[in-house]
């Protein structure tokens, strides 16, 4: 059944009909579409646009259709044009002319805008729950490994000693920002578009305020043209998802590196690895690699949405039907990746002794050595040059800085004394960093308290 067929004399070409149909993917919006139509029917009855008896009949039968779909009694017809047409057609089949009155003052343009906004809001809530779970998981690792010393890197070269807890706390901050970005995106998604019609609103006396409250929106769309032609909220949402994937990908790359023989910092559980079809010894970090690979897929969805909207004239154009597959695929991908990643993180075994021994190499205490000279009265540039020469000498002698004799140190500069050795111990290099945000024990204790408060606040929002 074509809801727009009155003006047409010829049947839609079969291939064109399949090409045009969005039911294959927008059928996942059935709950949102029916919930929106229930509220709309109630409003039509309250405003005497349709009779109260028709409104009651429509609402009861929409609820019945929803129940039948969810129980499996009613299967969504693959021949329908879209989910909106399917639901309305089934309603008309069940109650006749009363069902034909449901669409009074409403267009599919504002109807689909409503459905997508309801869907995105729901998915933001679900993703925030997943991100909260991930933050909790990371916090467990952080608390367990505040004292686990490891090398920090810049340019993939050993730089300064840090702790594993401090390193993972960096990712906690990234995913915290992801959580906050989603909440911010929710604010701009939380606009109720019904009443916008096709683009120019409607002469029916609709009660938009009732619809806003009934459908649990915070505000009303301010312009009918913008309401039906806006997909900024979809683009912003998938941009937020892309950021989540970028952070997952960065962490996964480090897990892959840390699991190699070259690093040997971690052991990934067999449950999150696979083997080789030809090399019996292999244990491959495939889950981490897949998450990295799927990051490009979500980026592709973002670029698809941006390209779809580029140069699109006002107001609604059929191009915008392409929003759904991009959003749906990005959501599914991110939710799956978060689930697997969270399980993988919980299962990791950290080889703390290897991490510590690695931090002892690579002259990671050189910066602290320079700082010690500054405290002795040298300028930092003078200190930098002296420690640079000291490192070069130590490399030639195949020694660590702390293995050099006092005589060897004094040959470089007579400012050195025995207090130098304590100053450049790996533990001292970490715990003298007293500033907030640093890897020292005191700074990390403060960071953990703040992180715990944040997670608690996230959990309270879900209650």
Q: Write down the mean pLDDT value for the chain.
A: 95
For residue range 386-428, what is the model confidence (pLDDT) as tens digits? 999 999 999 999 999 999 999 999 999 999 999 999 999 999 9
Residue at 431 is within a domain: yes
Residue 433: CATH number of its domain: 1.10.40.30
Both structure tokens of 117: 């906004």
Distance of alpha carbon 212 from alpha carbon 405, whole angstroms: 77
Residues 373 and 248 in one domain: no
- The verdict on 343 and 375 lying in the same domain is no
Tell me, what's the pLDDT at 80? 84
Give 125's Cβ-side CA count (13 Å radius): 12
The average pLDDT across 5-31 equals 72
pLDDT tens for 269-304 read: 999 999 988 998 889 999 999 999 999 999 999 999
State how many domains the chain has: 3
Q: Residues, the chain, total? A: 463
Of 307, 323, 352, the last residue of a domain is 352
Q: Which residues contact 58 (CB under 8 A, 6 or more apart)?
A: 37, 41, 50, 91, 95, 98, 99, 101, 102
**Based on the domain organization, do 92 and 138 belong to the same domain?**
no
**What is the C-alpha separation between 80 and 30, in angstroms, rounded?**
13
Contacts (Cβ under 8 Å, ≥6 apart) of 311: none
Q: Which of 311, 332, 309, 329 is nearest to 319 (CA)?
A: 309
pLDDT > 70 in the chain, percent = 95
Average pLDDT over residues 358-379: 97
pLDDT of 3 higher than 90: no
For residues 352 and 359, the answer to whether their CB atoms sit within 8 Å is no
Supply the CATH number for residue 338's domain. 1.20.200.10
Where a domain ends, among 73, 104, 135? 104
Q: What are the pLDDT digits (tens) for 116-161?
A: 999 999 999 999 999 999 999 999 999 999 999 999 999 999 999 9
Same domain, yes or no: 385 and 242: no
Give the chain's end-to-end CA distance (angstroms, integer).
44
Same domain, 303 and 403: no
92, 189: one domain: no
Provide φ and ψ at 122, rounded to 5°.
Answer: -65, -45
Domain that holds residue 92: 15-104
The per-residue DSSP string of 124-165 comes to: HHHHHHHHHHHHHHHHHHHHHTTT-EEEEEETTEEEEEEEHH
Which of the four pLDDT bands, split at 50, 70 and 90, describes residue 8? low
Task: Confirm if 92 and 100 have CB atoms less than 8 A apart.
Answer: yes
For residue 293, what pLDDT is reported?
97
| 187 and 332 co-located in one domain | yes
Pairing of strands 157-163, 149-154: antiparallel
For residues 444 and 433, what is the distance between their CA atoms, to the nearest angstrom? Answer: 10
H/E run at residue 334: helix 323-347
Bridging pattern class, strands 219-220 and 191-192: parallel
User: Does residue 2 belong to any structural domain of this protein?
Assistant: no
Q: How far apart are CA 174 and CA 181, in angstroms?
A: 11
Distance of alpha carbon 373 from alpha carbon 30, whole angstroms: 70
pLDDT at position 344 is: 97
Find out whether the peptide bond into 54 is cis, omega within 30 degrees of 0: no
3-state secondary structure string across 439-463 = CCHHHHHHHHHHHHHHHHHHHHHHC
What phi-psi label fits residue 21: left (phi over 0), alpha (psi between -120 and 50 degrees) or beta? beta
Q: In this structure, are 287 and 387 located in the same domain?
A: no
Tell me whether residue 84 is one of the annotated catalytic residues. Answer: no
**pLDDT tens by residue, 311-343:** 999 999 999 999 999 999 999 999 999 999 999
The band of 4, judged by pLDDT with boundaries at 50, 70 and 90, is: very low
Same-domain status, 320 and 195: yes
Q: Give the span between the Cα atoms of 346 and 206, in whole angstroms.
A: 52
Element (H, E) at 192: strand 191-192
* Residue 155 bears catalytic tag: yes
Question: Who contacts 79 (Cβ-Cβ below 8 Å, separation ≥6)?
Answer: none
Residue of 67, 276, 339, 436 marked active site: 276
Residue 232: predicted pLDDT: 98
| Domain assignment of residue 148, yes or no | yes
* Residues 117, 27 within the same domain: no
pTM, to two decimals: 0.94
Cα–Cα distance list, 418 to 251, 391, 404, 405, 422 (Å): 40, 18, 11, 10, 8
């Amino acid at each position: 059944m074509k809801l727009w067929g009155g003006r047409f004399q010829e049947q839609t070409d079969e291939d064109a009909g399949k090409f045009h149909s969005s039911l294959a993917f927008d059928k996942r919006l059935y709950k949102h579409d029916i919930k929106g139509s229930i509220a709309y029917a109630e409003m039509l009855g309250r405003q005497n646009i349709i009779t109260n008896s028709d409104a009651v009949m429509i609402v009861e039968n929409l609820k019945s259709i929803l129940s039948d779909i969810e129980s499996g009694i009613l299967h969504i017809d693959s021949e329908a044009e879209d989910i909106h047409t399917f639901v309305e057609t089934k309603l008309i089949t069940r109650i006749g002319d009363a069902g034909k009155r449901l669409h009074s003052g409403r267009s599919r343009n504002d109807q689909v805008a409503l459905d997508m906004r309801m869907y995105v809001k729901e998915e933001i809530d679900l993703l925030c729950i997943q991100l909260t779970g991930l933050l909790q998981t990371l916090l467990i690792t952080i608390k367990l490994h505040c004292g686990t010393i490891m090398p920090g890197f810049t340019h993939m070269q050993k730089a300064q000693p840090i702790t594993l807890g401090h390193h993972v706390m960096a990712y906690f901050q990234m995913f915290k920002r992801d959580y906050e970005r989603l909440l911010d995106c929710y604010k701009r998604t939380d606009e109720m578009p019904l009443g916008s019609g096709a683009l120019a609103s409607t002469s029916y006396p609709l009660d938009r305020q009732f619809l806003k409250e009934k459908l649990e929106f915070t505000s009303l769309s301010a312009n009918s043209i913008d309401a039906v032609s806006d997909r900024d909220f979809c683009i912003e949402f998938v941009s937020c998802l892309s950021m989540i994937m970028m952070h997952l990908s960065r962490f996964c790359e480090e897990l892959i590196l840390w699991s190699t023989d070259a690093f040997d910092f971690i052991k990934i559980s067999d449950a999150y690895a696979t083997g080789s079809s030809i090399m019996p010894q292999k244990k491959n970090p495939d889950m981490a690699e897949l998450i990295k690979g799927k990051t490009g897929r979500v980026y592709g969805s973002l670029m698809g949405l941006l390209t779809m909207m580029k140069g699109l004239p006002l107001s609604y154009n059929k191009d915008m039907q392409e929003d759904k597959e991009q959003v749906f695929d990005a959501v599914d991908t991110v939710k799956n990746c978060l689930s697997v990643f969270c399980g993988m993180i919980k299962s990791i075994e950290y080889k703390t002794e290897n991490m510590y021994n690695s931090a002892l190499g690579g002259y990671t205490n050189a910066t602290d050595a320079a700082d010690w000279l500054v405290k002795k009265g040298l300028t930092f540039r003078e200190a930098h040059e002296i420690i640079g020469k000291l490192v070069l000498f130590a490399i030639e002698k195949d020694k660590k800085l702390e293995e050099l004799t006092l005589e060897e140190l004094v040959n470089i500069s007579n400012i050195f004394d025995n207090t130098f050795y304590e100053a450049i111990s790996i533990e001292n290099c970490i715990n003298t960093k007293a500033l907030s945000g640093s890897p020292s024990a005191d700074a990390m204790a403060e960071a953990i308290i703040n992180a715990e408060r944040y997670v608690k606040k996230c959990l309270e929002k879900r209650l």
